[in-house]
Structure formats: C-alpha cells, structure tokens
Homo-oligomer: A and B are copies of this chain.
Amino acid sequence: MSDRGRATMKDVAALAGVGLATVSRVINGVAVDPHLTGRVLDAARQLGYRRDTAATSLRRADRRTSTIGLVLQDVANPFSSALHRAVEDACVRRGLLVLAGSSDEEPERERELLGVLLTRRVDGIVVVPTGAPDGELAAAHRDGTPVVCVDRASPVPGVDTVTADNRGGVAGAVRALHALGHRRIGFVADHTTLWTARERHQGFVEATAELGCRARPEWVGRDVHTAEAARQAVTGMFTTSPAPTALVTAQNWLTVGARRALVGLGLHHAVAHIGFDDFPLADMLDPPVSVIAQDPAEMGRRAALILLARLDGDDGPARAVTLPTRYIARGSGEIPPPGR
C-alpha cells in the first residue's frame, strides 16, 4: 500500500471509520463535524495520503487540471527563461503548475508539443509561436482552451497576443543615430519567417526612408540566425566601401556576433552600434552596448494575467497588447560618425 504513495481516500475512510464521501468533504474543506474532521485528518497524515490530481480533475465538473502549458523557443534562452519565470510567478499564487517545452523554432515540434499539452488537458496555453500555420493551435483555440501568444503575432486569428513595439523601437534607434549625424546605417536581422524579424526590419526601412538615409542592399543582412553568422555578415559589411558608419542589430545573439566582428576589425570604438533586446553584461563590454530593451518578464506577466482572466471566465474579444520598448544609452550607440 505504501508503494508509490498510493494511500487512497478509501484507505483513509477505512482507517478513520467514516464514509468515503466524508473524507472527500474534509479534503475539500466542506463543512463536516469537527470530531470526524480530526479523525480523517489524522488518518490521512498517518497514511501519508495525497490527493490524486488526475482522478480529481477527471471527476470534477469543470475538468480543471491546475496545469498550464508553455511553449517557448528554447527554455535555455535568456529571453525565454525570463518569460518562463514571469509566467511561473503569476501562476504559483493560483496553484497552477507549468509544463514547459522548447519548439526550437520548428513548426513540427510546436505542433507536437501543443498536441501532448492538449492530451494532458491543460487549462490554458502560453506560446511563443513559430509563426507557421498550426492546426493544433487553431484546434486548441476552437475547442475553448485559452491560448495567449507572446512576443509574436498569432498565426490564428482571434487569439490574445502580447508583443513588444518592435517597429517603433527600431525606428527610434535609427532616429537617434540620424540625430547624431549618421546617414549610412547598416542593419542585421534574423530569419524572415519570424514575425519579430520582419517587424524590426520594417521599422528600419520606414525610419531610414522617412529620414532620407542612403540605403544599400549590402548594408542590410537578413535571415541571419546565429552569432557566428552575424559576425561574418558584419565583417563583410564593413570591409566593403563605402561602409556604414552605424549599425543596428535586431536580436541579442546577433548583437554579440556583430560586436565580435567590430572588435575583430578594430572598429568597436569607431562605429555606432545599437542592439535590439538587452542581455546580461552588455554594460561591461568596451564600449558598453546601447540597446533597445524589451521586458520579457513583463511580457510573460501580462500574458499570464490575460490567461488567468480567461480562466476566470473572461470571454471578451481578443486582446492585443503592445508593450513599449526602452532605449538604454550605454555608449556604443552614442559614437558620432567620422569627422564630427
């Protein structure tokens, strides 16, 4: 009986000499004779009784499992894990547990994860969508399992979303560089399949056009996915002539790779450089890296709050929250163009 903690309500009832239903009532805090309550609690403690969540949710009218699903790009990525932590914090108070998984940007893996989460009958789902059309996501939404997309737009219409103002953030950085006198600005972004990469690129294009900056295809790198790829792209960009006098990199790893390239070329004190998304130790590099910061923790918190509201019965129209970005001037973005 004591193997795998399998003391059941029946065991407790037998030991306490009461009916099964009485145990259930005590465990669930329904009014019961104080004397019996004591006997039941004693028996439960003695047997090491633990209520079985699966059986509970199977029987309950609302079928709640007190578990939510979280699909991230990669649980080990700093952005993802900060978001994870914020979601966890919001859920803990409600007694919700988080099933987390990594999609690695692969639509197939995203679908698999969502599938097993639905199989587990999670109460709701927070997902950083790859962006590919996703039948499982659509099915979850259609079947009434609350879904919130974070960081990126939803591939399925009518789903709540929490995103950052990617376009405005990049545009602001470009305007700041322009104000410093920069007219030749380079740009490096991630896979075009990613909504955030497209948005940030769009912000760059709009701002440079509006300001009348020169634009050259060699100054724009797209579909650059790793730090090493960014290093190579930026090295190439700054060894052609004319080269940009400033650079905007649209993702944290790309920012690091770009900095490595600039250091390699000896240009890190000569070229203005602004990265999208803050990262640890950005302030300890030489020069410190100026960034367009988003707040992953806040994004996770807001997403979780929306999800919790849905669990509480909120059936209003889909929300689309856009959080502002914040420019953090640390030095690398404040380098003037040559001759000024």
Binding site for B on A (CB under 8 A): 2-6, 48, 50-55, 57-58, 63, 65, 67, 74-78, 80-82, 84-85, 88, 92, 95, 97-102, 115-121, 139-140, 142-145, 256, 259-260, 263, 279-281, 284-286
Contacts and interface: CB of A to CB of B under 8 A. Distances in A.
A142 B260 CA distance: 52
A81 B75 contact: yes
Contacts of A279: 280-281
A4 B120 contact: no
Given A5-B139, A75-B85, A97 B98 contact: no
A83 to B, nearest CB: 9
A143 B50 CA distance: 12
B102 A101 contact: no
A209 B186 CA distance: 56
Given A75-B75, A99-B67, A143 B4 contact: yes
A248 B120 CA distance: 47
A44 to B, nearest CB: 13
A4 to B, nearest CB: 5
Contacts of A76: 78, 81-82, 84-85
Contacts of A259: 284
Contact of A281 (B51, B67, B285): B285
Nearest to A143: B5
Given A2-B143, A54-B121, A280-B280, A95 B78 contact: no
Nearest to A300: B76
Contacts of A285: 281, 284-285
A94 to B, nearest CB: 12
B88 A97 contact: no
Contact of A88 (B75, B88, B260): B75
B95 A98 contact: no
